[in-house]
């Protein structure tokens, strides 16, 4: 277990060191208007939505599923909240809007769960439905416009600070909750059991359907909260672009963290590392000034390197060489 | 889901119209009745800019007495081609459209040419060797927009000026051209330097995230040049979070002039906006009348566009439609 997390951790450290070499001020932190200010804080703040979505995705993937609809769900959450808030600056309206959005996201999660657990449709197809249609729903809600709000209470979720960014505090709180609920109870083991063999676990008395249903609802609610962060960060709902391709980042974070897409064993710490690597990578590109034309290539090279060092075969080759050198 | 249904319904409706048209023995041709029929194939409704563009075309068609047949392609080329084919079968007097992508139009436009239906491109151009496929292209000159932004900076900069640039989507024509025009103009003044340039994907989140990183990696930033208002609005948020005053400590230049951008400009948070005008309906109708009457029209017509300073924004904001 420890060994599996070593490589993603090393990758993260290497990325941070690269930044330190190119931009010596990367690690500098200072207080600005009562909150911490610096590049590392940006990594945490902008990585919070990806981390949250990746958490939900980890559990879904552990059941041998996948949820492609999270980006669209995030867009819907932002759209519904911003349209509800409208021109109001009232904290109550903002809270009501967020509550409505999250309940709606839970319903969307139920829908995904129904398709996967109820009708037995393959997860990638089932969630593709909402991935495509969801953005259309978000567009309908906002009538194709970018809805701008001016509400200090709402702004707190994605752009606010309690010394650290509020968004990362929310994500870490959810991480702690998930870790507690799945690792201190049997739930985590049951989820893994469903992922390894749904039929066998059902015969063993595990309520496989209920568990699958639950993880999709959880993933959708996580996506909803992430959508609120994304939209609140810029005080606007952009149905076209909010959470666009974030499902891919989330899946990548899960995979980098060492959770297998084949289901079964999962690692929450790995997902945390994965999400941090992805966001550090993005911030690195902006900070050290990689030209936009080669950004994607740069990112791809790093991701390939991280995945390669985790592959059992590549690792075996590496350790073989180590042995050869030492002997 | 609903969007899909609408598309399907639209296609069904179009084919129904087509059937009626051919059943009438082609009697509905425009020139016979005196009114002009225009088939317009829109890209979609992907932004506020586009919605304003659509509304302008619909309103101006009504005002000019042009019978407008409108279709929404949901950002898909095949839908636009289908729409254009049905317009050809309906024998409209003129076809206008904003191509979703640059290439792949030769076949369908050749069909229009054979049917003697003139084609007008709006907003975006096509990439084809055969320029006889369309009469004229009405749209913004993105390079000129970049030049206007550069001109303002050259006129208003004093002393060494460090500029950071928030580019549009990498590879998109407006991003390439707005960068080019801007660089052309600031080259004349050696103390204006672009110290960092990254893509913010034309979005607020993108603009904010890139600006946050710039504020930490660059020791001195005097000016932000954003390729659209939304990225500029994101940058404003980042500048505020850094404890600086947007529009004063760091000056901001953007392109587009949508309502949210204009509001920020009027509030003094943006310093200068170059307009990218979606209201090309009136110019389109004028061109249409000329084309139908058989008059010569220039192959390239640039949309009428201005620029806005903070004072002009305050005056223009109440009537802003988009």
Q: Is residue A305 one of the residues assigned to a domain?
A: no
Judge if B148 and B270 occupy the same domain.
yes
Q: Does residue A5 surpass a pLDDT of 70?
A: yes
Q: What angle do CA B249, B252, B254 make, to 5 degrees?
A: 175
> Which residues are paired to B95 by β-bridges?
B39, B119
Judge if B41 and B129 occupy the same domain.
yes
Tell me the Ramachandran region of residue A33: left when phi exceeds 0, alpha when psi lies from -120 to 50, beta otherwise: left
- Does residue B7 or residue A67 have the better pLDDT? A67
Q: Does residue B5 surpass a pLDDT of 90?
A: no
What is the pLDDT, as a whole number, of residue B229? 94
HSE on the CB side for B87, CA within 13 Å? 32
Judge if B128 and B208 occupy the same domain.
no
The phi, psi pair for B94, rounded to 5°, reads -150, 145
What is the pLDDT, as a whole number, of residue B74? 76
What is the pLDDT, as a whole number, of residue B13? 45
Percent of chain A with pLDDT over 70: 97
Asked if B137 contacts B121 with a C-beta cutoff of 8 angstroms, the reply is yes
Q: What angle do CA A40, B270, B251 make, to 5 degrees?
A: 65
Q: Is residue A321 one of the residues assigned to a domain?
A: no
In this complex, is the C-beta atom of B45 within 8 Å of any C-beta atom belonging to chain A? yes
What is the pLDDT, as a whole number, of residue A327? 46
Judge if B146 and B135 occupy the same domain.
no
Please give the Cα distance from A149 to A233 (Å, whole number): 11
**CATH number for the domain including A72?**
1.10.3470
In this complex, is the C-beta atom of A23 within 8 Å of any C-beta atom belonging to chain B? yes
CA nearest B188: which of B221, B215, B150? B150
Q: Is residue A299 one of the residues assigned to a domain?
A: no
Q: Is residue B217 one of the residues assigned to a domain?
A: yes
Q: In whole angstroms, how far apart are CA B234 and each of A226, A291, B207, B229, B261?
A: 18, 21, 5, 9, 11
Average per-residue pLDDT in chain A?
92
Q: Is residue B320 one of the residues assigned to a domain?
A: no
Please give the Cα distance from B121 to B132 (Å, whole number): 12
Summarised one tens digit per residue, pLDDT across range A198-250 is: 889 999 999 999 999 999 999 999 999 999 999 999 999 998 889 989 999 99
Summarised one tens digit per residue, pLDDT across range B250-283 is: 999 999 998 899 999 999 999 999 999 999 999 9
Residue B79: domain span: 34-140+278-305
| Bridge pairing between strands B251-256 and B223-226 | parallel
H helices present in B115-258, as ranges: 142-156, 173-186, 204-217, 229-241
Please give the Cα distance from B41 to B98 (Å, whole number): 7
Judge if B147 and B269 occupy the same domain.
yes
Q: Is residue A52 one of the residues assigned to a domain?
A: yes
Q: Is residue A107 one of the residues assigned to a domain?
A: yes
* Mean pLDDT confidence for A71-90: 96
What is the pLDDT, as a whole number, of residue B33? 53
CB contact under 8 A, A148 and B210: no
Summarised one tens digit per residue, pLDDT across range A152-189 is: 999 999 999 999 999 999 999 999 999 999 999 999 99
Judge if B228 and B257 occupy the same domain.
yes
Q: CA-nearest residue of chain A to B175?
A: A292
- Does residue B188 or residue B16 have the better pLDDT? B188
Q: In whole angstroms, how far apart are CA A117 and each of A113, A123, A212, A250, A278?
A: 5, 9, 6, 22, 31
Secondary structure of residue A225 in the 3-state scheme: helix
Q: Does residue B224 surpass a pLDDT of 80?
A: yes
Secondary structure of residue B163 in the 3-state scheme: strand
Please give the Cα distance from B116 to B294 (Å, whole number): 12
Chain B residues touching residue A139 (CB < 8 angstroms): 3, 45
Q: CA-nearest residue of chain A to B203?
A: A241
Please give the Cα distance from B294 to A282 (Å, whole number): 55
Q: Does residue B1 surpass a pLDDT of 60?
A: no
Tally of structural domains, chain B:
2
Asked if B122 contacts B139 with a C-beta cutoff of 8 angstroms, the reply is yes
What is the pLDDT, as a whole number, of residue B119? 96
Judge if B135 and B282 occupy the same domain.
yes
Percent of chain B with pLDDT over 70: 89
What is the pLDDT, as a whole number, of residue B73? 85
Report how far Cα B131 is from the mean position of its chain's Cα atoms.
Answer: 21
Asked if A155 contacts A235 with a C-beta cutoff of 8 angstroms, the reply is yes
What is the pLDDT, as a whole number, of residue A301? 92
CB atoms within 10 A of CB B264: 23
What is the pLDDT, as a whole number, of residue A322? 58
CB contact under 8 A, B241 and A39: no
* Mean pLDDT confidence for A62-88: 96
CA nearest A45: which of B10, B170, B212? B212
Q: Does residue B46 surpass a pLDDT of 60?
A: yes
In this complex, is the C-beta atom of A249 within 8 Å of any C-beta atom belonging to chain B? no
Secondary structure of residue B271 in the 3-state scheme: coil
Average per-residue pLDDT in chain B?
87
Asked if A230 contacts A78 with a C-beta cutoff of 8 angstroms, the reply is yes
Least confident piece of the model among A53-67, A304-318, B135-149 = A304-318
CB contact under 8 A, A286 and B209: yes
Q: Is residue B148 one of the residues assigned to a domain?
A: yes
Comparing CB atoms, the residue among B1, B212, B243 nearest residue A32 is: B243
What is the pLDDT, as a whole number, of residue A146? 87
Tell me the Ramachandran region of residue A243: left when phi exceeds 0, alpha when psi lies from -120 to 50, beta otherwise: left
CB contact under 8 A, A238 and B230: yes
Q: Is residue A106 one of the residues assigned to a domain?
A: yes
Judge if B85 and B115 occupy the same domain.
yes
Q: Is residue A192 one of the residues assigned to a domain?
A: yes
Q: Does residue B2 surpass a pLDDT of 70?
A: no
Least confident piece of the model among A6-20, A102-116, A213-227 = A6-20
Q: Is residue B6 one of the residues assigned to a domain?
A: no
Q: b/e map of A81-102 (b: 16 or more CB within 10 Å)?
A: bbbbbeebeeeebbeebbeebb
The helix-helix angle for A70-85 and A208-233 (nearest 10°) equals 50
HSE on the CB side for B17, CA within 13 Å? 20
A274: pLDDT confidence band, cut at 50, 70 and 90? very high
Q: Does residue A285 surpass a pLDDT of 50?
A: yes
Judge if B149 and B178 occupy the same domain.
yes
**What is the DSSP code string of A250-300?**
HHHHHHHTT--TTSS---HHHHHHHHHHHHHHHHHHHHHT--GGGHHHHHH
Q: Does residue A192 surpass a pLDDT of 50?
A: yes
* Mean pLDDT confidence for B33-57: 84
What is the pLDDT, as a whole number, of residue B127? 85
Comparing CB atoms, the residue among A133, A136, A241 nearest residue B203 is: A241
Q: Is residue A309 one of the residues assigned to a domain?
A: no
* Mean pLDDT confidence for B71-93: 91
Has this prediction a pTM greater than 0.90?
no
Tally of structural domains, chain A:
1
* Segment 194-233 of chain B within 8 Å of chain A by CB: 196-199, 201-206, 208-210, 212-214, 216-217, 230, 233
In this complex, is the C-beta atom of A25 within 8 Å of any C-beta atom belonging to chain B? yes
Identify the DSSP state of B35: P
Please give the Cα distance from A197 to B246 (Å, whole number): 57
CB atoms within 10 A of CB B279: 20
What is the pLDDT, as a whole number, of residue A269? 95
Residue found under tokens 């959450």: A77
Judge if B54 and B176 occupy the same domain.
no
**CATH number for the domain including B263?**
3.40.50.2300
Please give the Cα distance from A311 to A4 (Å, whole number): 10
* Mean pLDDT confidence for B102-124: 93
Judge if B158 and B265 occupy the same domain.
yes
Q: Is residue B123 one of the residues assigned to a domain?
A: yes
What is the pLDDT, as a whole number, of residue B21? 38
Residue found under tokens 């197809």: A125
What is the pLDDT, as a whole number, of residue A312? 80
Interface test with B, best of A149, A159, A234 (most B CBs within 10 A): A234
Q: Is residue B103 one of the residues assigned to a domain?
A: yes
Q: Is residue B152 one of the residues assigned to a domain?
A: yes
A319: pLDDT confidence band, cut at 50, 70 and 90? confident
Burial class of residue A321 in the structure, from the number of CB atoms within 10 Å of its CB (0-12 exposed, 13-18 middle, 19+ buried):
exposed
Q: Highest-confidence range of A26-35, A89-98, B74-83, by mean pLDDT?
A: A89-98
Q: Is residue B226 one of the residues assigned to a domain?
A: yes
Judge if B282 and B227 occupy the same domain.
no
The total number of residues written for chain B in this structure: 322
Residue A117: domain span: 2-289
Q: CA-nearest residue of chain A to B202?
A: A241
């Amino acid at each position: 277990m420890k060994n599996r997390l070593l490589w993603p951790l090393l990758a993260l450290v290497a990325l941070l060191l690269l930044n330190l070499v190119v931009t010596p001020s990367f690690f500098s932190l200072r207080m600005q208007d009562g909150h911490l200010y610096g590049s590392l804080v940006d990594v945490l703040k902008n990585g919070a939505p990806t981390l949250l979505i990746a958490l939900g995705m980890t559990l879904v993937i552990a059941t041998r599923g996948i949820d492609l609809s999270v980006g669209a769900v995030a867009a819907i959450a932002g759209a519904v909240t911003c349209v509800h808030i409208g021109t109001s600056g009232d904290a109550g309206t903002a809270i009501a809007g967020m509550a409505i959005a999250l309940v709606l996201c839970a319903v969307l999660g139920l829908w995904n769960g129904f398709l996967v657990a109820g009708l037995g449709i393959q997860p990638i197809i089932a969630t593709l439905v909402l991935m495509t249609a969801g953005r259309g729903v978000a567009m309908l809600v906002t009538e194709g416009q970018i809805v701008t709000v001016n509400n200090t209470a709402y702004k707190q979720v994605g752009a606010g600070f309690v010394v650290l960014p509020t968004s990362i505090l929310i994500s870490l709180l959810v991480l702690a909750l998930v870790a507690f609920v799945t690792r201190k109870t049997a739930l985590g083991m049951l989820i893994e059991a469903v992922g390894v063999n749904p039929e066998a676990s059902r015969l063993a008395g595990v309520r496989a359907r209920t568990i699958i249903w639950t993880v999709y609802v959880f993933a959708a609610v996580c996506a909803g909260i992430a959508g609120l962060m994304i939209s609140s960060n810029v005080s606007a709902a952009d149905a076209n672009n909010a959470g666009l391709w974030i499902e891919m980042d989330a899946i990548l974070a899960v995979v980098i963290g060492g959770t297998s897409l084949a289901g079964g064993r999962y690692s929450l710490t790995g997902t945390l590392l994965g999400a941090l690597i992805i966001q550090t990578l993005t911030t690195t590109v902006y900070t050290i000034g990689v030209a936009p034309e080669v950004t994607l290539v740069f990112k791809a090279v790093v991701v390939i390197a991280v995945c390669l060092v985790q592959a059992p075969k590549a690792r075996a080759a590496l350790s073989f060489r180590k042995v050869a050198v030492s002997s | 889901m609903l969007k899909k249904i609408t598309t399907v319904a639209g296609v069904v409706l179009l084919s129904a119209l087509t059937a009626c048209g051919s059943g009438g023995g082609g009697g509905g041709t425009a020139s016979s009745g005196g009114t002009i029929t225009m088939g317009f194939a829109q890209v979609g409704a992907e932004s506020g800019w586009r919605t304003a563009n659509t509304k302008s075309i619909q309103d101006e068609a009504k005002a000019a007495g042009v019978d407008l047949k409108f279709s929404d392609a949901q950002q898909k080329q095949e839908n636009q081609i289908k729409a254009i084919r049905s317009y050809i079968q309906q024998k409209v007097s003129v076809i206008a459209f904003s191509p979703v992508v640059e290439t792949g139009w030769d076949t369908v436009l050749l069909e229009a040419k054979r049917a003697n239906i003139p084609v007008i491109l709006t907003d975006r151009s096509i990439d084809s060797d055969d320029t006889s496929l369309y009469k004229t292209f009405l749209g913004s000159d993105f390079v000129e927009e970049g030049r206007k932004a550069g001109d303002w900076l050259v006129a208003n900069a004093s002393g060494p000026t460090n500029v950071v640039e928030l580019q549009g989507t990498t590879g998109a024509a407006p991003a390439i051209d707005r960068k080019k025009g801007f660089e052309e103009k600031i080259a004349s003044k050696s103390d204006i330097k672009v110290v960092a340039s990254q893509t913010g994907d034309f979005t607020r989140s993108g603009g904010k995230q890139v600006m946050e990183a710039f504020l930490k990696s660059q020791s001195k930033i005097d000016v932000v040049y954003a390729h659209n208002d939304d990225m500029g609005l994101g940058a404003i948020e980042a500048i505020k979070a850094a404890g600086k005053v947007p529009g004063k400590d760091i000056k901001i230049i953007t392109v587009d002039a949508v309502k949210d951008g204009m509001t920020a400009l009027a509030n003094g948070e943006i310093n200068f906006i170059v307009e990218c005008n979606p209201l090309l309906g009136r110019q389109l109708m004028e061109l249409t009348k000329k084309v139908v009457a058989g008059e010569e029209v220039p192959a390239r017509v640039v949309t009428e566009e201005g620029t806005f300073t903070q004072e002009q924004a305050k005056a223009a904001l109440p009537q802003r439609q988009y």
